[in-house]
A and B are shown apart, each in its own frame.
Chain A
Amino acid sequence: MKVLARVALFTIIVVGLVAAPLWEPVAAQERVLKVAGVGAMSGVIRGFGINSKAVFDMVVDEINKAGGVRLADGTRAKIVGTFLDERCNAEEGISVVRKLASEDWLVLIGPTCSNVAEPLFGILQRKVGDAGDSGLQFPIFTDTAIKPGLAKISEWAFRNVPHEPTMYNHLFKWLKEKHPNLKTVYGGVETDFAHSNSNWFTSMKNAATAAGFEVLGEEKWLLNDTEFSTQVGKWRRAKPDIIAISSHPFTTCGVLREMKRQGVKPKVMAGLTSTATLETMAGCGPEAEGLIIPTGFAPVTPEAKRVADIVAKQYKGNVDLHSAAVYENMYVLKKVIETSGVEAKPTTLAQDRKRIRDGLAKVTEFDGLLGKIKRLDDRESVKPYVFAVAKNSDWAVLFDPR
């Protein structure tokens, strides 16, 4: 019986651990708007989720302090937010989103990873109003997952992420104009991560060729790799004018350190959008000197500076091209909620989600932190961008095409 008692005690402890976060005191009976966030808060690329959460918390507080959001009947509701970890894992992402969709959350912001966004969009209803499709009817407005073309998976999926093909086409064209003597490009790609892989093969490589560069090839590595001497050795022997690296901060820093060790100094280095973060500067600022990256965020407007300062000082996070979208998305959502008749009552949950979806689908333009953001028919954004360059272990604006 002693063993049985132990098993019973253990079960009670586990159930208690699980139930604890679910327990909530009886809330005051004021109307609230429940908006959820999902991002990678643990794992190799947790930095993105942590930054998104910091901006999410900041913008929720800011909207609430300013009086909240006006509902259909004229009352004002406060936003109640939650931000959950998807660990950049599809199974966990689906589990979290199904949980949120089964509760009274109106809309979701996130996720971080494209390999989570794809299945999340896959479990949504593909076409609105299709009675034969049992997918979830839950609007998702993505801030970070950047792999091209994901929003077309479902009409409930919306994204506000930079359009990489446009940005890299412009970057390589600009490089050709600025440095007409440069002829060759050699790539480097983190092949086991959907975003970095697709970015090289569908954006960077094509853009370089279209701009008139000769692409010598690409070296490959994996997200968890820590040794890059072979790949960098090939760059050293090929002596390309430009090295274009499509990988996330962790391996980019490894590659840049190895380049320094082997004395590989191309005339120009270009990087992946997701690497234009302070995480890269913290990891390998000196080695990254001169790295050029097109980015959808830089503190170049008063509003961008203000948000970046508040998030850094009060919320211990960084605003970058991904987390900046959380701020933008929340303000678009506020506007959509105020204009689309959202009631925020327990009985109108399904209608409210549909109203938000329809409202988001109608948005053609909105104000972003760097300027006007255009919305496309496939529920994607065209965002303003700048070319950032690593300088003295910080990011500086090299060229501002706005």
Chain B
Amino acid sequence: MEFYFALATLFGFRILLGLSAYVVILTGQISMAQAGFYALGAYTAGAATALWGWPIVPAVLLGAIVGAVFGFLVGFPALRVRGLFLVIATLAFTEIVRMVFLNLKYTIRVGDRTIGPAAAEGFRGITYYFENGWSSLQIAGFTWLFVLAVLLAFWLMDRSRAGVVLRAVGEDELAASSVGINLTAAKVSAMTLGGLVAGLAGALYAHYATYLSQEEFGVLLASFAVAYPLIGGTGSVLGPIAGVLFFSLLIDGLRFLGDWRNLLFGVLIVAMMNVRPHGIIDVRLVRRLAALLRPAPKRAYAGD
């Protein structure tokens, strides 16, 4: 079971990362900054427990808040650009974050160990879980508490006015603004919320991995973050989950193929986008499923 708990934990970070991109995509924006927020959350929460001796919960929340603050800061300049320009601008942000961590050195000695970000040598010693005797089940449970909380929050948001506003902005900005929707507020809120969730994911990841290296937070991670909801579908919060399952099962399932895995991986993604161009769980599928689950209306008969 150990492995399955670890796998569930891994799925947890990926789902959170996918959800962080999902909320931004709802407003019609593609952000590559999620990897940057993820890195910020990871390094901050890692420093909080390993260097400053914080307990895990406030450390993780601090990671999420730092992600949100940077999401907010990135959200404003991002309003001035859209489409491919936004992709490049947010990718530049992720690279800036990565370069900062490539050069950041802030270490302390704990016994015979050097702990903390050591520039290119990475951040070693984030061992809160193991030092406190957490089992794999506890780590998975802790991670999934946050995953479920975020899923529930997003599910409720999807059904609220806020969700409708975000989708309206994503569908047609002009129409949305013409009915009085504040585009700035919607887009910046989405980016802030995305930053919060990505920061949270990074904070949890840091404690799972015990070691952080800036090279993990580059273009590939940013692409995966966006690919989860795009492949999984943006019809509901279940979309990023489907995307994470799709990618994770392919990554692990095709491992035996060695270098051919990357080729087949690409082919399967292209095939998937042809078969399901709007994602595995798109709006149409969500409506159909909702219709199936809804109790059939009573038929009226003559004489009733």
The interface of chain A, by Cβ under 8 A from chain B, is 3-4, 6-7, 10, 14-15, 17-21, 41-42, 46, 84-85, 89-92, 94-96, 98-99, 101-103, 115, 118-119, 122-123, 125-126, 131-135, 147, 152-153, 191-194, 197-198, 223
Q: What residue of chain B has the Cβ atom nearest to residue A223's Cβ?
A: B215
Q: Is the interface of A mostly helix, strand, loop or mixed?
A: helix
Residues B230-253 near A (CB distance < 8 A): 245-246, 249-253
List residues of chain A with CB within 8 A of the CB of B10: 91, 94-95
Interface flags for B131-162 (1: CB within 8 Å of A; 0: not) read 11111100000000000000000000000000
Q: Which of B2, B120, B205, B245 contacts A194 (CB 8 A)?
A: B120
Q: Which of B119, B124, B130 contacts A123 (CB 8 A)?
A: B130
Q: Shortest beta-carbon distance, B4 to chain A, in Å?
A: 8
Q: Does B210 contact A (CB under 8 A)?
A: yes
- Among the stretches B74-82, B85-93, B257-265, the one at the interface with A is B257-265
Q: How far is the CA of A33 from the CA of B200 in the complex (A)?
A: 42
B130–A134 contact, CB under 8 A? yes
B122–A115 contact, CB under 8 A? yes
Q: How far is the CA of A265 from the CA of B210 in the complex (A)?
A: 44
30 pairs, A vs B, C-beta closer than 8 Å: A3-B288, A7-B280, A14-B246, A14-B253, A15-B249, A17-B249, A17-B253, A42-B261, A89-B216, A90-B213, A95-B10, A98-B3, A98-B6, A98-B7, A101-B3, A102-B6, A115-B122, A118-B213, A122-B126, A122-B210, A123-B130, A132-B133, A133-B133, A152-B113, A191-B120, A192-B214, A193-B120, A194-B213, A197-B119, A223-B215
A194–B209 contact, CB under 8 A? no
A122–B125 contact, CB under 8 A? yes
List residues of chain A with CB within 8 A of the CB of B112: 152
Interface flags for B188-213 (1: CB within 8 Å of A; 0: not) read 00000000000000000100111101
Q: What residue of chain B has the Cβ atom nearest to residue A153's Cβ?
A: B124
The interface size of chain B toward A, counting residues with CB under 8 Å, comes to 55
List residues of chain B with CB within 8 A of the CB of A125: 130
Q: How far is the CA of A118 from the CA of B289 in the complex (A)?
A: 45
Q: What residue of chain B has the Cβ atom nearest to residue A11's Cβ?
A: B245
Q: Does B121 contact A (CB under 8 A)?
A: yes
Q: How far is the CA of A38 from the CA of B252 in the complex (A)?
A: 14
Q: Which of A7, A18, A98 contacts B2 (CB 8 A)?
A: A98
Q: Which of A3, A17, A42, A85 contacts B284 (CB 8 A)?
A: A3
Q: How far is the CA of A84 from the CA of B208 in the complex (A)?
A: 21
Q: How far is the CA of A40 from the CA of B135 in the complex (A)?
A: 29
Q: Does B127 contact A (CB under 8 A)?
A: yes
Contact A119-B130, Cβ < 8 Å, known A42-B258, A46-B259, A198-B120: no
Q: Does B290 contact A (CB under 8 A)?
A: no
A18–B131 contact, CB under 8 A? no
Interface flags for B215-237 (1: CB within 8 Å of A; 0: not) read 11000000000000000000000
A99–B210 contact, CB under 8 A? no
List residues of chain A with CB within 8 A of the CB of B246: 14
Q: How far is the CA of A6 from the CA of B282 in the complex (A)?
A: 13
A147–B130 contact, CB under 8 A? no
A14–B250 contact, CB under 8 A? yes
Q: Shortest beta-carbon distance, A368 to chain B, in Å?
A: 27
A198–B259 contact, CB under 8 A? no
List residues of chain B with CB within 8 A of the CB of A119: 209-211
List residues of chain B with CB within 8 A of the CB of A197: 119-121
Q: How far is the CA of A340 from the CA of B114 in the complex (A)?
A: 34
B215–A115 contact, CB under 8 A? yes
Q: Shortest beta-carbon distance, A126 to chain B, in Å?
A: 7
Q: Which of A85, A99, A102, A193 contacts B1 (CB 8 A)?
A: A102
A85–B127 contact, CB under 8 A? no
Q: What residue of chain B has the Cβ atom nearest to residue A94's Cβ?
A: B209
Most chain A CB inside 10 Å of its own CB: which residue of B112, B213, B254, B275: B213
B209–A18 contact, CB under 8 A? no
Q: Does B104 contact A (CB under 8 A)?
A: no
Q: What residue of chain A has the Cβ atom nearest to residue B263's Cβ?
A: A42
List residues of chain B with CB within 8 A of the CB of A4: 285, 288-289
List residues of chain A with CB within 8 A of the CB of B262: 42
Q: Does B256 contact A (CB under 8 A)?
A: yes
A192–B215 contact, CB under 8 A? yes
A91–B216 contact, CB under 8 A? yes
Q: What residue of chain A has the Cβ atom nearest to residue B264's Cβ?
A: A17
List residues of chain B with CB within 8 A of the CB of A191: 102, 120
Q: Which of B120, B126, B249 contacts A18 (CB 8 A)?
A: B249
A42–B259 contact, CB under 8 A? yes
A134–B134 contact, CB under 8 A? yes
Q: Does B54 contact A (CB under 8 A)?
A: no
List residues of chain A with CB within 8 A of the CB of B216: 89-91, 115
Q: What residue of chain A has the Cβ atom nearest to residue B255's Cβ?
A: A85
List residues of chain A with CB within 8 A of the CB of B213: 90, 115, 118, 194
Contact A90-B120, Cβ < 8 Å, known A6-B275, A101-B2, A134-B133: no
Most chain A CB inside 10 Å of its own CB: which residue of B119, B121, B208, B261: B121
Contact A95-B120, Cβ < 8 Å, known A122-B127, A122-B211, A126-B130: no
